[in-house]
Structure 1
Amino acid sequence: MTGTVQPHSFRPRDLVGGHVVVDLVNTVTARDADPVDWLDGYPRLLEWAALTGHFTPAALADLRRLAEADPAGAARALDDVRALREAVHDVLTALVVDHASAAPPQALATLERHWKQAVARSRLILRPDTPRVEVDSAPPGLVRLHDELALQALDLLRSLPTDRTRVCPGRRCGWLFVDTSRAGRRRWCSMATCGNSAKGRTHYERRRADGR
């Protein structure tokens, strides 16, 4: 991604993707204009992760302590998450926007490499209901978020409803989202933001035209 890095305080309204990995992709905004990366550091990544609800507070507290003790390692871990994010974005765009029969080879190779690294550090845990692959937390490491997201990314792509996965047409947005609505006619990432802004612009332009 070429663009700027900018601090951002994550809020629930930033989680509109319908899947945690899609929400990760959306930590870059304005992809349709001048992209802005909201992950300005590892602490910000932890802030986002806490908001998603996919990671336990205890695990995130451990990662925070590890990051404070090893800033260089935290920076490398953030770079890995960013690389994973961009690979997923390129693959999703190829499938959903370009309707390509194959994803970009470089993006696919990057995603495969990150997934294999995550699998190599994972273990199969038998839950009471079903077997499940979980990231090995003994010992914990700064790569834990990356690994869990990489495993989730493969699950997403294997079951992606391409006919219900869309790119928001809002100005300075470009966010992806999976339309889980019953009717399947969702257009905007959020009516509260891009939807209402578009309606406001349309109303303003109509009034200007009527005035002339």
Structure 2
Amino acid sequence: MTFSWTPHRFVGGALALDVANSVILRFDPEKSVDRFAVPEQLDSFCEAATRLSAERDTFPVLTAPSSSKHLIDLREATDRYFRQLIETGQDENNLLADLLTASATALKNAPAKHSLEAATARSVLNLMAGPNRARLRICGHCGWLFIDRSKNRSRIWCDMAVCGNRQKAAKHYRRKQETTS
């Protein structure tokens, strides 16, 4: 199965979040899709991330790993840690340890500085220590992780053009149904 990597797929605001968001509908087992399950997708993700990622200046040319094991481990640790941090506001020691271990393993085993594994690990570390940590959010529609860069820090959708419109259309449809019944 091939996917197109559109700009919407890179709305996380950091490469680490875009990688974490590569699992579509993560919490719906019947509809969930892992976009990295097909190894060839890693090559196309790297090409697209080189053009579309918010950190494209930091990681100008990304290369796919020969094996996705360390990248998948890092992706899952990233999602668990930041999701827990956003939902509870607390650092879980075991989740932090898992994320740091996955980041260290990815950096240690990455074949090149600009490999997707190394770049993702660096992005994770930047998120953990940087000012964007306080701006992390979970999309109210699709559940993706993203950085809220709005002035008043009130953004609730990863992408207004996709998730925001879907939510607003659904709300409008429900209101219209209520008035007609």
Q: TM-score, normalised by structure 1?
A: 0.71
Is 2:8 the partner of 1:13?
Answer: yes
How far apart, in 2, do the equivalents of 1:121 and 1:8 lie? 27
Is 2:11 the partner of 1:24?
Answer: no
Aligned to 2:167: 198
Aligned to 1:183: 152
Displacement, 1:44?
Answer: 0.7
Displacement, 1:29?
Answer: 1.5
How far apart, in 2, do the equivalents of 1:87 and 1:160 lie? 20
| Change beyond 3 A, Cα 1:211–1:45 | same
How far apart, in 2, do the equivalents of 1:182 and 1:167 lie? 17
Displacement, 1:164?
Answer: 1.9
**Unpaired segments of 5 or more residues in structure 2?**
51-55
Rg larger for: 1
* Among 68, 92, 95, the residue aligned to 1:103: 92
Is 2:35 the partner of 1:38?
Answer: yes
How far apart, in 2, do the equivalents of 1:151 and 1:163 lie? 18
* Higher share in strand: 1
Aligned to 2:127: 156
| Change beyond 3 A, Cα 1:209–1:118 | closer
Displacement, 1:155?
Answer: 1.6
**Unpaired segments of 5 or more residues in structure 1?**
1-5, 68-73, 123-134, 138-143
| Change beyond 3 A, Cα 1:52–1:158 | same
How far apart, in 2, do the equivalents of 1:9 and 1:189 lie? 18
Counterpart amino acid of residue 99 in structure 1: G
How far apart, in 1, do the equivalents of 2:149 and 2:140 lie? 18
Count of residues paired in the alignment: 172
- Percent of aligned positions that are identical: 28
